[in-house]
C-alpha cells in the first residue's frame, strides 16, 4: 500500500537516459461559463453550409444543432435561410463519396469567438457536411445593428449594379 509521502512526491520522467523531475498538473478546466457571450464581445457571423443532398431532415437537424449550440452558449440566432439543392461549382470528395450537388443553408448569429470556433468544430466532425464557412460580418454595433437574419438569393443581375 502506498504511503502518504508517495502521493506528494513528483513523478520521474525518463528521457533518453536523463532523468528530470516535475510535478504533474491536471489539465485546465474549461467551464461552460467561459463560452457565454456578453453584449460587449458579441460579433455577427454568417454560417454558409453545404449538406449532402437527399434528406431535408438531415439539413434541419444540422441547422438545429448549430443553432442550439449558439443559444446554449449565450448567443443569438438572427435567422436561417434555406437555399435548397443546387450544383456545386466543382465536384467535391468528402468522406470517400463524390458530390456534384449539395443542399445549401445560411445561419446568421451573434456570438463570441470561442462559440464560433465550437460551432466550426462540431460541423467539421459531422460526416453529413460537404463544406461550410463561417464569415464575420462585423463586431461594432453600428455595423451590425441593421443586418437582417434572412439572406435572399437572386439570380438576376441588374446592369446598373455592375456599373
Decide which of 17 and 87 is more confident: 87
Looking at the structure of the chain, the number of domains it has is: 1
Q: Residue 119 falls within a domain, yes or no? A: yes
CATH of the domain at 112: 3.30.70.60
Q: Residue 37 falls within a domain, yes or no? A: no
| DSSP β-bridge partners for residue 106 | 48, 81
Q: How far is CA 83 from CA 34, 48, 62, 155, in A?
A: 34, 10, 15, 12
Q: Residue 161 falls within a domain, yes or no? A: no
For 17-71, write each residue's pLDDT tens digit: 444 455 554 544 444 444 444 455 678 899 999 999 988 999 999 999 999 999 9
Q: Residue 3 falls within a domain, yes or no? A: no
- The reported pLDDT for the residue numbered 150 is 66
Q: Residue 122 falls within a domain, yes or no? A: yes
Q: Residue 92 falls within a domain, yes or no? A: yes
Give the Cα separation of 91 and 73 in Å (integer). Answer: 35
Three-point CA angle 50, 43, 32, nearest 5°: 85
Q: Residue 110 falls within a domain, yes or no? A: yes
Give the Cα separation of 38 and 111 in Å (integer). Answer: 9
User: Is the entire prediction scored with pTM above 0.75?
Assistant: no
Q: What range does the domain containing 71 cover?
A: 49-143
Q: Are the CB atoms for 110 and 69 separated by under 8 Å?
A: no
- The reported pLDDT for the residue numbered 5 is 53
Q: What is the DSSP letter of 34?
A: G
- The reported pLDDT for the residue numbered 113 is 87
What is the number of other CB atoms lying within 10 angstroms of the CB of residue 60? 14
Q: Residue 2 falls within a domain, yes or no? A: no
Amino acid at each position: 500500500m502506498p504511503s502518504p509521502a508517495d502521493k506528494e512526491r513528483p513523478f520521474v520522467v525518463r528521457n533518453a537516459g536523463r532523468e528530470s523531475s516535475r510535478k504533474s498538473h491536471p489539465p485546465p478546466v474549461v467551464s461552460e461559463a467561459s463560452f457565454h457571450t456578453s453584449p460587449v464581445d458579441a460579433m455577427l457571423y454568417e454560417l454558409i453550409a453545404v449538406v449532402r443532398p437527399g434528406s431535408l431532415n438531415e439539413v434541419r437537424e444540422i441547422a438545429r444543432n448549430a443553432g442550439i449550440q449558439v443559444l446554449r452558449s449565450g448567443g443569438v440566432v438572427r435567422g436561417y435561410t434555406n437555399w435548397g439543392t443546387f450544383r456545386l461549382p466543382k465536384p467535391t470528395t468528402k468522406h470517400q463519396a463524390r458530390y456534384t450537388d449539395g443542399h445549401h443553408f445560411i445561419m446568421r448569429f451573434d456570438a463570441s469567438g470561442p462559440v464560433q470556433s465550437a460551432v466550426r468544430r462540431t460541423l467539421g466532425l459531422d460526416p453529413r457536411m460537404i463544406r461550410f464557412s463561417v464569415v464575420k460580418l462585423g463586431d461594432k454595433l453600428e455595423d451590425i445593428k441593421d443586418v437582417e437574419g434572412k439572406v435572399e438569393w437572386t439570380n438576376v443581375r441588374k446592369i446598373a449594379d455592375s456599373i
